Amino acid sequence: MTMKVGVLTGGGDCPGLNSVIRAVVRTIHNDGGETLGLLEGWRGAIEGNAIKLTPESTDGIIDRGGTILGSSRTNPYKDESSVGKLLDTFKNLELDALVAIGGDDTLGVASRLYSEHNLPTIGCPKTIDNDLSSTDVTFGFDTSINIVMEAVDRLKTTAESHRRVMVIETMGRHAGWIAWYSGVAVAADYILVPEVEPNLDHLCEVLIQRRQGGKPFGIVVVSEGAALSSVEGLVTQDAEIDEFGHVKLGGVGEQVADIIEKRTGFETRCVTLGHLQRGGPPSASDRVLGTRLGIHAGRLVVKREFGRMVALRGTQIVSVPLAEAVGTMRILDKGILEEFGEFFK
């Protein structure tokens, strides 16, 4: 029997989502089935807002950033009546399966819907933050670090002209993947990540040493989640909280820039890259990874192997139980930090 499959994208968007959507649609179509796109994440599933997707309508989307379906941080479990509405949508649209493309929050909902309501869900991991535990890498991350790299390459020339220190604040929430990888790629003088207790004295010493050694500018990459709470008087986050209970991060870069300028005397500027890191076309690598994950998610649907998430392990796409895949954040491991630590002495 052919299938009718829903697909949605939830949480913060990232480059590569459209590659997954296109691949899911194609795989389901090849099996004789059809795909509906639920709009704006779980909100569309609750409100019954969907559009028909075909291989033709999704063929030209691989190079587009964002998601053609729209996204939101709607959490159906915020209010039990929403879960009921979501289950009604599933029945009304006569869906046989649902592919949820998202980060830990979106996949956590997919996991609960499967375990608590036996809803046939499949998960596909995405996030620029690269912080999901059951997959070696998430699509969106590669594009994001390339965006940061290009931005810093530009910032270097103006920093050099003005003999300034540039502090670049990156996204990544409580994992330092974006800051660390992009920082290494631009030969930053210092990188601050949430995984390492900040030592601002050491940071300033390194900048001073390098200036004395003849380098006329400095580059410091700071992850938005860098834990400056141990530095007196600094607050790194405001009180705004989303439906999944996450605080909105941001502002730490400005604070670090301030401290550097005061302690070293070097003129310092901060650039917060913000949502630029999630925008625009995906890298080739993210397009390929998204496509592979989409094909495998579609194949799990066809085989009716529900309650699972597709994942990259080494060079292979595998699947893991959704329940095991959610709830644990993957942070930078010590080995990676130590390797590049050679450059920050």
Are 224 and 237 within 8 A, CB to CB? Answer: no
By beta-carbon proximity to ligand F6P, the closer residue of 227 and 300 is 227
Closest approach, Cβ 66 to ligand F6P, in A, equals: 12
d(CA 35, CA 52): 6
Contact region for ligand F6P (CB under 6 A) — 58-66, 169-177, 279-287, 332-340? Answer: 169-177
Which tokens go with 184?
């290494």
Near ligand F6P in 93-112, by CB under 6 A:
103
Buried b (16+ CB within 10 A) or exposed e, 106-123: bbbbbbbbbeeeebbbbb
- Dihedral angle over CA of 86, 90, 96, 102, nearest 10: -30
Q: Does 171 bind ligand F6P (CB under 6 A)?
A: yes
Tell me which residues in 7-46 interact with ligand F6P (CB under 6 A). Answer: 12
Quick one: which segment of 42-50, 86-94, 166-174, 335-343 binds ligand F6P (CB under 6 A)? 166-174
Could you give the string, one character per residue 199-218, with x where binding to ligand F6P holds by CB under 6 A and - elsewhere?
--------------------
Catalytic residues: 129
Q: Give min distance, CB of 101 to ligand F6P, in A.
A: 14
Minimal distance, residue 159 CB to ligand F6P, in Å: 24
* Residue range at the interface with ligand F6P (CB under 6 A); choices 47-55, 59-67, 157-165, 171-179: 171-179
Residue 248 has a CB neighbour count (10 Å cut-off) of 12
- Per-residue contact track with ligand F6P, 268 to 287, x per CB under 6 A? ----------x---------
Q: Which of 112, 164, 173, 299 contacts ligand F6P by CB under 6 A?
A: 173
Closest CA to 69 of 98, 34, 36: 36
Residue of 167, 195, 342 lying closest to 258 (CA atoms): 167
Pairing of strands 218-223, 165-170: parallel
Q: Using CB under 6 A as the criterion, what x/- string covers residues 105-144 for binding ligand F6P? A: ----------------------xxx---------------
**What is the closest distance, in whole angstroms, from the C-beta atom of residue 104 to ligand F6P in the complex?**
9
- Does 71 sit near ligand F6P (CB under 6 A)? no
Please tell me the count of residues contacting ligand F6P according to CB under 6 A: 11
Least separation in angstroms between CB 217 and ligand F6P: 27
From residue 295, how far is each of 35, 58, 149, 253, 301 by CA, in Å? 13, 14, 30, 39, 10
Residue of this chain nearest to ligand F6P (CB atom) = 171
| CA distances for 128 relative to 89, 223, 344, angstroms | 30, 13, 25
Report the 10 Å Cβ neighbour count for 255.
Answer: 21
d(CA 304, CA 268): 56
Contact 298, 28 (CB under 8 A): yes
> With respect to ligand F6P, which residue has the nearer C-beta, 167 or 301?
167
Question: Which CB sits closer to ligand F6P, 103 or 298?
Answer: 103
Between 12 and 183, CB nearer to ligand F6P: 12
Under rule CB under 6 A, residue 172 binds ligand F6P: yes
Map the footprint of ligand F6P across residues 235-254, applying CB under 6 A: 249
Which residues have C-beta within 8 Å of that of residue 19, sequence separation ≥ 6?
61, 62, 139, 282, 286, 287, 288, 289, 290, 291, 294
Question: What type of residue sits at position 311?
Answer: A
CB 152 within 8 A of CB 186: yes
- Contact call for residue 308 and ligand F6P (CB under 6 A): no
CA 241 to chain centre: 18
The distance of closest approach from Cβ of residue 158 to ligand F6P in the complex, given in angstroms and rounded to an integer, is 25
- Residues of this chain that bind ligand F6P (CB under 6 A): 12, 103, 127-129, 171-173, 224, 249, 278
